Amino acid sequence: MLIRLLLVSFVSVLFFTDSVLAAEDAKVMPAKIRRATVRYVRTDISAKTDGGFNANPLSKPLSKALTFRDILKGEKDPVKNALTAGFLTAEGFRPEDAVGQFAAEVKTRVQVTAPVFTLGLTPSTTVAVALPVYKMQTAAAVSFQANDMGQKFINALTSDFNNQSSSARDAAAKLNDAVARLNTKLTDNGYLPLQSWTGQGLGDTQFVVKNRTYESGAFAVATQASVTAPTGRTDDPDNLLDKGFGDGQWDLALGTAAEQSLAGLVDGLSVSQFVRYVDQLPAQRTLRLVTSAETIEVPKAKVSFDLGNRLETGAAALLATQTGWGGVLGYNYSYKASDRYETAQDTRSVLEKDTIETLHQAEAELIYSGVPAFRRGSIPVPFEVKLAYKRQIMSRNMPVSHQIQLDTGVFF
C-alpha cells in the first residue's frame, strides 16, 4: 500500500509540467519579423491536492504505520510466518496494531528553460517552436520511529514465560532498520532505493500556428493550432521518485482567442478571452503492473494508455502603453479528463485512480517592450521582457504550484 500510494502521488504530481496556462490574445507578429525568446519557469512543490480539493503534503503517502499485518505479509518463510501469527494471537496482539510509524519529508523543485523562436509568416499568420529543457530536483528523507506497541511486542518475547531473547533481538533490529529493509525489498525487485533525485533533459517539443482570422474595428479573433511531439524522456518504472520530461505521447490542440480594444477608455487597454481543447493521443509505455494487493513484487510490461484530454480557458485585461510598459491581469481554468490504461482490471483501477484534474489559476504579468523606444531611435535593437507570477487558487489532484516566469526576447 505504501509503495502504491507513492507511485500514484508522484506520477500525478509531476505531470503538471505538461501544460502551463497563460493569458491569450488575438495579436500576431508582423510579416517577416522574427523573435528569439528564452523563457524561464520555476516552481517549488511541497503539497498536492486530492479529489476533494484539499492540499496534503507530498510526504503524506509515506507517513504510514507499520502493522503486524505488514510484518506477517513480509515474512516469506511459511514456518516462521505461522509461528509469528500464533505468537501474536496468543499474546493478544491484533493484526491492525501498529508497531511504529514511517515519516518522510518530500520537496520538489522544477525549473524549465525554453528557447522559443517565433516568425511572422504573413501579415495574419505567426508560427512558433519551443524546445523546453527541464531540471528537476526531488529531495526525499524517510525515517521510522517504533512506538510503545513495538516495545510491548519485544517485551513479550523476552518474558520469563516465552524466553525468546534471540527472537527479541532480531525483532528489535528489524524495527530499528525498517527503512533499510524497505529499500532492500525494493532493490530485490528491481527498483532503485528511495533517495533524493536530480535530473535534466529535453522536454516535449511544441509547434504552434496562430492566425488572425477576423478583425472588425476594435474587435479581433485569432485561431491557434499546435502539435506537441514526444521528444522528452518518460519516467523510469524502476525509480519511484523519477519523473521524465515528457509524457510519451503526441498532443493536438486547437483554440481561439477573442480580443476587444478598450482604447476609448484607457489608451492601450484591451480585454481577451480564450478557449483551447487538447487531444492527448494514445501511445504505449513500459509500466509496473501494480495492483491493489501487490505493489512491489510486480512485473513490467509495455501498456497502451491514453491520457485524459484537456479543456483550457481564461480571460484577461491587457495594457500596452506608448512608453513600452504594460501588464496583464488574468484568470485561467483547466480541466483534464481521466486517464485510460489497457491492462488488467486490478492494475487499471490503481493507475486510473485520481487522474481527473481541475485547476483555477490567477496570473499577473509586468511587461516592458523596447519596440516604442526602437521606433523613436532610442535603442539599436527592439526587445521585450516579461515577468509573470501565476498563483494557484484551487485545484483537484494536482500539485500546489505557484510559478514564476521570466521571458526575454529580441526582435530582428
Provide DSSP, 131-194.
--EEEEEEEEEEEEEE-HHHHHHHHHHTSTTT--HHHHHHHHHHHHTHHHHHHHHHHHTTPPPS
Higher local confidence (pLDDT), 307 or 7: 307
Q: Is 102 domain-assigned?
A: no
Report the half-sphere exposure of 137 (CA within 13 A, side-chain side). 6
- Predicted pLDDT at 64: 78
Each residue's pLDDT tens digit, 212-265: 999 999 999 999 999 999 999 998 899 877 788 999 999 999 999 999 999 999
Q: Is 217 domain-assigned?
A: yes
Report the alpha-carbon distance of residue 238 to residue 189 in Å, rounded: 9
Mean predicted confidence (pLDDT) in 94-110: 84
pTM for this prediction: 0.83
- Predicted pLDDT at 11: 30
> Residues 6 or more apart from 87 whose CB is under 8 A from it?
156, 157, 162
Q: Is 253 domain-assigned?
A: yes
Rounded mean pLDDT of the chain? 87
Report the alpha-carbon distance of residue 282 to residue 252 in Å, rounded: 11
Q: With pLDDT > 90 as the criterion, what percentage of the chain qualifies?
A: 58
Contact 250, 227 (CB under 8 A): yes
Neighbouring CB atoms inside 10 A of 402's CB total: 13
Q: Is 399 domain-assigned?
A: yes
Give the residue among 361, 350, 353 at the shortest CA–CA distance from 308.
Answer: 353
Question: Is a pLDDT exceeding 70 seen at residue 49?
Answer: yes
Q: Is 345 domain-assigned?
A: yes
> Residues 6 or more apart from 178 whose CB is under 8 A from it?
66, 100, 102, 144
Mean predicted confidence (pLDDT) in 4-27: 50
What number of helices (H) and strands (E) belong to the chain?
8, 20
Q: Is 233 domain-assigned?
A: yes
Each residue's pLDDT tens digit, 353-411: 999 999 999 999 999 999 999 999 999 999 999 999 999 999 999 999 899 999 999 99
Question: Is a pLDDT exceeding 70 seen at residue 291?
Answer: yes
- Predicted pLDDT at 311: 98
Please tell me whether residue 377 adopts helix, strand or coil conformation: coil
DSSP state string for 12-50:
HHHGGGG-------S--PPTT-EEEEEEEEEEEE-EEE-
- Predicted pLDDT at 145: 81
Residue that has been written with the C-alpha cell 534471540 in this structure: 166
CATH number, residue 134: 2.40.160.40
Each residue's pLDDT tens digit, 161-214: 665 655 555 665 666 677 777 788 888 888 888 888 888 999 999 999 999 999
Neighbouring CB atoms inside 10 A of 263's CB total: 10
Higher local confidence (pLDDT), 162 or 318: 318
Contact 19, 310 (CB under 8 A): yes
- Predicted pLDDT at 203: 95
State the total domains in the chain. Answer: 1
User: Domain range for residue 229?
Assistant: 2-57+109-142+199-411
Q: Is 362 domain-assigned?
A: yes
Q: Is 348 domain-assigned?
A: yes
- Predicted pLDDT at 17: 38
